[in-house]
Amino acid sequence: MKDVAARAGVGLKTVSRVVNSEPGVTPDTERRVQEAITALGFRRNDSARILRKGRTASVGLVLEDLADPFYGPLSRAVEEVARDHGALLINGSSAEDPAREQELVLALCARRVDGLVVIPAGDDHRYLEPEISAGVATVFVDRPAGRINCDAVLSDSFGGARDAVAHLIAHGHRRIGFIGDQPRIHTAIERLRGYRAAMSVAGLPVNEAWMSLGATDPSRVLAAAEAMLSGPEPVTALFAGNNRVTVTAVRVLAARPGRAALVGFDDFELADLLSPGVTVVAQDAAQLGRTAANMLFRRLEGADEEPRQIVLPTRLIARGSGEIPPAHRVAS
């Protein structure tokens, strides 16, 4: 910039004005500055600008896994809102590891992102307190913050799970298995609660062997499903706690004779084209991201309300797999 000013024979401030298209520069001066800019190949350094201005026009997004199809539309929605506000998106995957989540979040804070959208892996976010009081707006998505009071946008995991299980019960099932995410994760606990509530309302007993929380990698889910579908008290239906579990459950069931019923949490592409179509409790990932991002920018524009929690409804979509009746030898 100094070189540009020298070459154009003007002051630094004038160059700054031209670069930012501020008013108050004669057309003639502007032309000289523009010429110097192209001649010297000048490119404004936004780091310096940021240092001076205080705002970085960037927001951080921390999620579990960029490669998970559930997070694609969510990220995209956050990005679009950020773009509308002239902000870039810096993001990273926690790989469901709380230590890595914290490392990422703090790295983002050190970069002075204006705000943070977090899909937490951990359940203790007190490490964020200094950052939040220093002014980093933060909104949690999909799962609430742990041990701090913070904005959050969630899906109705409890209600959705309850509806899913009630649906299976309405189709005659009495022995229903639940395979969910790790118990550290809020949605896993909520969906388990919903499962229990539906069973309890229907007056059905629950066997501990019908509930399995843990990692959602295929091998773990496969083992859990096989165990529930075999043994002395086999389940006649499965409720899968998220899209990763559902996909593996579909594979397990396709490979077995005498199909058990299945309802999955999260919709997924082509679920309707499988045979049978997969009945799901759908949540709107894009809407989740959009709502969170809007909340974030409202905070950034100075909204000074108490932290809020927004819960978005889920929707049961019947496609066939959830309407399969219990196998004959199992009918009550």
Interacting residue ranges for DNA, rule: CB under 7 A: 1, 9-14, 16-17, 19-20, 23-26, 28-30, 42-45, 48-49, 51-53
CB 320 within 8 A of CB 277: yes
Phi, psi dihedral angles at 132 (to 5 degrees): -65, -40
Residue 79 binding: pick among DNA, a second copy, none (C-beta 5-8 Å cut-off by kind): a second copy
> d(Cα 235, Cα 242) in Å, to the nearest integer?
19
Q: Residue 289, Cβ neighbours under 10 Å: how many? A: 28
> d(Cα 120, Cα 181) in Å, to the nearest integer?
14
The smaller minimum CB distance to DNA, of residues 17 and 186, is found at 17
The smaller minimum CB distance to DNA, of residues 46 and 217, is found at 46
CB 308 within 8 A of CB 299: no
Residue 138 binding: pick among a second copy, DNA, none (C-beta 5-8 Å cut-off by kind): none
Q: How many Cα atoms within 13 Å fall on the side-chain side of residue 184?
A: 11
Residue 44 near a second copy by CB under 8 A: yes
Residue 90 near a second copy by CB under 8 A: yes
Q: Residue 153, Cβ neighbours under 10 Å: how many? A: 25
Cross-strand bridge partners of residue 92: 62
Region binding a second copy by CB under 8 A among candidate stretches 102-110, 118-126, 141-149, 318-326: 102-110
- Per-residue binder mask for a second copy (CB under 8 A), 128-147, x = binder: --xx-xx-------------
Residue 12 near a second copy by CB under 8 A: no
Among the residues of 20-133, which ranges form H helices?
A: 27-40, 46-53, 71-84, 98-110, 129-133
Residue 16 binding: pick among DNA, a second copy, none (C-beta 5-8 Å cut-off by kind): DNA
Q: Which residues bind a second copy (CB under 8 A)?
A: 41, 43-48, 50-51, 56, 58, 65-69, 71-73, 75-76, 79, 83, 88-93, 107-112, 130-131, 133-134, 247, 250-251, 254, 268-270, 273-275, 286
